[in-house]
Amino acid sequence: MSLKRRDVLKLTGAAALAALANPVSAKAKPLRILILGGTGFIGPHFVEVLGAAGHKISLFNRGKRDPSVKPGIEQLLGDRNGPVDSLKGHDWDVVIDNSGYLPKHVKLAAEVLKGHIQHYIFISSISVYAEFKQADMDEDAKLATVDDPNTEVIDDKTYGGLKVLCEQAVREIYGKSATIIRPTYIAGPGDHTDRFTYWPWRVAKGGEMLAPGTPGDFFQFVDVRDLTDFVKLCVEKRIAGTYNTCNTPRSVTMGALLDTSKKVTGANTTFTWANAKFLEENEIIGEKAKGNYLPIWSPADGDDAGSQLVSNARAVKKGMKFRPLETTVRDTLAWVAARPDGRNEKLRAGLSPEQEKELLAKLHA
């Protein structure tokens, strides 16, 4: 099955009805909000939702991804590597830092803004945890380290440790006025990594599909709209502290994700399940994975099994809510089908048709 323009109308129509059934809450007092970044994947969602709530938005970035911002949005040009002069001489109520990856960049912005903002929200990652062997890890779990804290190389070995140092820089400067948000895999419209997108997109193609592990394996992610709504809550209610932002552990399984995708698309897809040993031997999961690989999923009994079972209890207690899985799947597929960049037939993540066909033949043999 191929997603076509007419499919978009069906999918987006359903999404519109869902939106009508869940009207936005009453508007809060207008705030002055600075977003460090504001483009890419999650930034535009922050801009849209906070702007719709009546808040005044300023963006600080290089102006390369989205040089023509929406009317009413203040654009401050600069570079996190310096200079940041355009940040000086302004006052805001809240800053949302969703483009901080190196501690020196975060520290520079945090120090320049000190005394000119009241609340610093830093978007981090669950990659800050040292390991994922245990289920139901909360925000107090052991954190990752990095051998060279001054490195500017961001890769699988340094990403988590550098995010930890970024968090520390924010806390040292803002203390109880800091909020640390740790999302898991972010899904939904706008996700150009295609990591979550691959699963419903592949189901939509129909035919025999290679599926990892078992239908009962847990699958954890966060819809970008749910993440955005929680950040909005933190902005308006000045919620401080550290929060894992992910769907409730054990609420979604691999089988549920694929079956829901099949229901949404009406595809004739059948699933052939392959165990972790087979997937590792063929280098599409694990440390040896290279090129095309199976995203997000982890073996239920592997060293990273806990990455699909991270606790979100603190965020839920503060008011975080979640859309139904079907809504995330439906809206993601609608976005993919309408992508203007020609990438609705070839994704950045997941198996190629040729690779999947070869692996299925090995399984049957």
pLDDT value of residue 18:
44
Distance in angstroms (rounded) separating the CA atoms of residues 121 and 177: 9
pLDDT at residue 13 tops 60: no
Peptide bond into 149 cis (omega under 30): no
Q: Give the tens place of pLDDT for each residue, 31-73.
A: 999 999 888 899 999 999 999 999 999 999 887 655 446 778 9
Instruction: List, in order, residues 6 or more apart from 256 with CB less than 8 Å away.
Output: 215, 219, 325
The pLDDT assigned to 233 comes to 98
User: What pLDDT digit, counting tens, does each position of 115-147 carry?
Assistant: 999 999 999 999 999 999 999 999 999 999 999
pLDDT at 81: 84
- Is residue 19 scored above 90 in pLDDT? no
* Tens digit of each residue's pLDDT (9 = 90 or more) over 350-363: 999 999 999 999 99
pLDDT at 66: 58
How high is the mean pLDDT of the chain?
A: 91
- Indicate whether 1 pLDDT > 50: no
- For 325-352, the pLDDT digits (tens) are 999 999 999 999 998 766 667 899 999 9
Number of CB atoms found within 10 A of residue 110's CB: 24
**pLDDT (0 to 100) of residue 65:** 57
Q: Is pLDDT larger for residue 286 or for residue 213?
A: 213
- Is residue 219 within 8 Å of 206, Cβ to Cβ? no
Q: Give the per-residue pLDDT at 63.
A: 74
The per-residue pLDDT for range 161-220, each reduced to its tens digit, is 999 999 999 999 999 999 999 999 999 999 999 999 999 999 999 999 999 999 999 999
Rounded to whole angstroms, the Cα distance separating 123 from 167 reads 9
pLDDT at 8: 41
Segment among 77-86, 91-100, 173-182, 200-209 with least mean pLDDT: 77-86
Two tokens, residue 228: 């955005």
Regarding the domain delimited by 31-183, which CATH topology (the fold level of the hierarchy) does it fall under? Rossmann fold (3.40.50)
Q: Is the pLDDT of residue 223 over 80?
A: yes
pLDDT interval class at 244 (50, 70, 90): very high
When pLDDT is cut at 50, 70 and 90, the band that residue 99 belongs to is very high
pLDDT at 327: 98
Could you state, in order of their start, the residue ranges of all structural domains in the chain? 1-23+187-221+248-307+324-365, 31-183
pLDDT tens per residue, range 289-338: 877 899 999 999 989 999 999 999 999 999 999 999 999 999 999 999 99
Average pLDDT over residues 226-251: 98
